[in-house]
Amino acid sequence: MSSENISKTKKDLGRFLRSLRKGKGLKIQEVASDLSVSQGFLSEVETGKKYPGGEIIRSLSRYYGVSADDLLAGKGPMRRDSSLTPGENGDTFPLEFVSIPCVRGEVSAGAGRIPDETIEMRIAFRRDWIQRKGDPRNMSIIRVQGDSMEPTLFSGDLVLVDHNHNFLDPSGGIYAVAVNDHIMVKRIQFFPRQNRVKIISDNAVRYEAEEHPADDVNINGKVIWFGRELER
């Protein structure tokens, strides 16, 4: 293929990708984040300055719901599922939503336990909402067990944990914390001058607060949302 034809192919592909993105109302930084590529690289692809490799082509094909052949040709019809973005295990969600894995194991709102990391299901959140909270690629949903966080959280509640927020915040909050390799959902209070952490149960009648050196407490992530199933 001549250099002139290669240049035309890159430009056709770039224009097509840009039209697909614009047609879905997506910003280039959103697509780059979803595909785990740099915004600069994707911008150069869309302007015809760079040609993506096979793995990126496959990712773009799945993302936009266009066959790889049509994508490489820089033209072609959208498939019926073109408004969907792939999740795990073949699940698909509308592009305006992000799916977060819910791990099978429960974490204690009591004495603590080690969770099973097997994905039980995935729950979709609106992309614009969750991206204001942090990077959804580093979040997970876990199920609470025990009564120590009542009346705030009940046993069986699902909590969305932002693992990007894995540091001690002086303002406190509810966190998934690990002490001695056991993860618990607790309210924490940080005392930076003493370098100590108070681990608090909202059910103060039955559970006393505990204090630990900050170095002994591993912050797994901050709880930013919870969901509850209603009993029938």
Q: Which domains does the chain have, with CATH numbers?
A: 3-78 (1.10.260.40), 89-227 (2.10.109.10)
Highest mean pLDDT among 11-15, 48-52, 211-215: 211-215
User: Residue 120 has what pLDDT?
Assistant: 76
pLDDT in tens, 18-33: 888 887 778 898 888 8
pLDDT in tens, 128-187: 888 888 888 889 999 898 999 999 999 999 999 999 888 887 788 999 988 876 778 999
| Average pLDDT of the residues of the chain | 79
190: left (phi over 0), alpha (psi -120 to 50) or beta: beta
Strand partners, 226: 159
Sign of CA dihedral 41, 36, 223, 111: negative
Question: Which DSSP string do the residues of 146-159 spell out, in sequence order?
Answer: SSTTTTTS-TT-EE
pLDDT band at 222 (very low <50, low <70, confident <90, very high): very high
Predicted TM-score (pTM) of the model is: 0.59
Indicate the SS3 state at residue 31: helix
In 3D space, the residue among 142, 151, 90 whose CA is nearest the CA of residue 116 turns out to be 142
Residues 46, 159: Cα–Cα separation, whole Å: 38
